[in-house]
């Protein structure tokens, strides 16, 4: 099976270890993985801000880059959601690309959803010693219907004690440009999220979206709390020796 990894801008810019972890997990599960060089941004910031023209341009570009693979895997619920659910709408009026958008959409998956539902992975064999809690990022939960799958894989980590996060379904306040357009409201939301994380007594929090994780880690860091923040791919690939998100090296 030949798959392409769409790393996403945040992974590309902020945290390559997530990309390498994702590749490792996919290869371990038997995939041939390619990471096309010409990938940039899926256009979500444009689409969510009503800029249809730029959203269309970026969508067309992405389709050009990612066609020709069996599947396109994305270590992000929101970017996967953009490709899978929104591209057909973004390009609905485009006679050349609308069908290609539908085709691509059908082959796009969030990473953990793909590992469990398509590849049938039940355990990645990695070790994680400690108490972990899981934040369901909104697009992962609602657009990609991914919530059972990451939990399954995390629970299979040796030594991992997975604690359910109260109000796990409540938005962390990232929302892409929302967090900088409405900073006070976003701060309230992320603060509430961090408060509930603290109540679990977990030493580590994980999610499938780097945007959420940066938001949560940024607040944890400002509040000087000793909670580590990792992307699910890193945990599943056993790559927790690197500093956590926002952690000092």
Partner 1 sequence: MRAHSQSFPQRAQVALLDERLQAALAKARGGFVDKRRAALDQLPEFEQLRVAAREIKEHTLSHLEQYLMQFEQQVELSGGEVHWAADPAEACEIAVGLCRDADAQAVTKGKTMVGEEIGLNEALEAAALRVIETDLGEYIIQLAEEPPSHIIAPAVHKSRGEIAELFQAHHHGEEFTRPLETVPDIVDEARKVLRNEFLGADVGITGANMLIADTGSTALVTNEGNGDLTASLPRVHIVIASIEKVVPTLEDATVLLRLLARSATGQSITSYTSFFTGPKRSEDIGGPEQFHVVLVDNGRSEMLGNAYREMLHCIRCGACLNHCPVYGAVGGHAYGWVYPGPMGSVLTPLMIGLDEGHVLADASSLCGRCEAVCPMSIPLPRLLREHRLQSHRDGLMKPLARSMLGFWAAIARRPQLYRWLVERKSRLLHRIAGKRGYLRHVPMAGSWTCSRDLPAPQGGSFVAAWQRRHGGKDDSQ
Q: Which 159-188 positions form the footprint of partner 1 (CB under 8 A)?
A: 169-171, 173-188
Of 23, 90, 15, the C-alpha closest to 58 is: 90
What is the smallest separation between the CB atom of 147 and partner 1, expressed in angstroms? 12
* Unique residue bearing structure tokens 């926002």: 246
- Bridge partners, residue 205, by sequence: 133, 229
Residue 90 or 160 having the CB closest to partner 1: 90
Beta carbons within 10 angstroms of residue 188's beta carbon = 12
146 interacts with partner 1 by CB under 8 A: no
What is the smallest separation between the CB atom of 64 and partner 1, expressed in angstroms? 8
Binding mask 216-245 for partner 1 (x = CB under 8 A): -xxx-xx-------------------xx-x
Which one of 215, 230, 231, 236 is in contact with partner 1 (CB under 8 A)?
215
- Quick one: tokens of 137? 């990022």
Residue 152 or 191 having the CB closest to partner 1: 191
The answer to whether the CB of 186 falls within 8 A of the CB of 174 is yes
Segment interacting with partner 1, rule: CB under 8 A, options 46-54, 99-107, 123-131, 158-166: 46-54
249 interacts with partner 1 by CB under 8 A: yes
Site for partner 1 in 81-110 (CB under 8 A): none
What is the smallest separation between the CB atom of 156 and partner 1, expressed in angstroms? 26
80 interacts with partner 1 by CB under 8 A: no
The answer to whether the CB of 95 falls within 8 A of the CB of 77 is no
Q: Under rule CB under 8 A, how many of the chain's residues touch partner 1?
A: 77
Beta carbons within 10 angstroms of residue 118's beta carbon = 16
20 interacts with partner 1 by CB under 8 A: yes
Which H/E stretch holds residue 46? helix 44-48
Of 2, 7, 4, 5, the C-alpha closest to 210 is: 7
Residue 98 or 221 having the CB closest to partner 1: 221
Q: How far apart are CA 216 and CA 220, in angstroms?
A: 6
Of 15, 6, 12, the C-alpha closest to 232 is: 15
Which one of 59, 74, 138, 197 is in contact with partner 1 (CB under 8 A)?
138
């Amino acid at each position: 099976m030949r798959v392409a990894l769409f790393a996403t801008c945040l992974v590309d810019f902020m945290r390559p270890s997530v990309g390498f972890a994702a590749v490792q997990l996919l290869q371990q599960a038997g995939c041939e993985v390619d990471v096309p060089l010409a990938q940039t941004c899926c256009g979500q910031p444009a689409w969510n801000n009503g800029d249809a023209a730029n959203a269309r341009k970026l969508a067309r570009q992405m389709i050009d880059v990612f066609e020709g693979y069996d599947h396109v895997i994305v270590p992000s619920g929101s970017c996967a959601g953009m490709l899978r659910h929104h591209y057909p709408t973004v390009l609905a009026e485009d006679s050349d690309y609308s069908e290609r958008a539908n085709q691509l959409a059908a082959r796009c998956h969030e990473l953990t959803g793909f590992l469990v539902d398509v590849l049938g992975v039940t355990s990645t064999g990695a070790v994680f010693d400690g108490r972990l809690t899981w934040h369901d990022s909104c697009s992962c939960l609602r657009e990609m219907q991914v919530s059972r799958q990451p939990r399954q894989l995390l629970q299979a980590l040796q030594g991992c004690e997975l604690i359910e996060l109260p109000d796990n379904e409540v938005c962390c306040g990232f929302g892409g440009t929302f967090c900088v357009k409405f900073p006070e409201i976003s701060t309230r939301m992320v603060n509430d999220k961090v408060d509930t994380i603290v109540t679990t007594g977990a030493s580590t929090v994980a999610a499938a979206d780097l945007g959420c994780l940066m938001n949560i880690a940024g607040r944890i860091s400002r509040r000087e709390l000793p909670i580590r923040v990792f992307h699910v791919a890193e945990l599943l690939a056993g790559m927790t020796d690197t500093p956590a998100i926002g952690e000092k090296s």
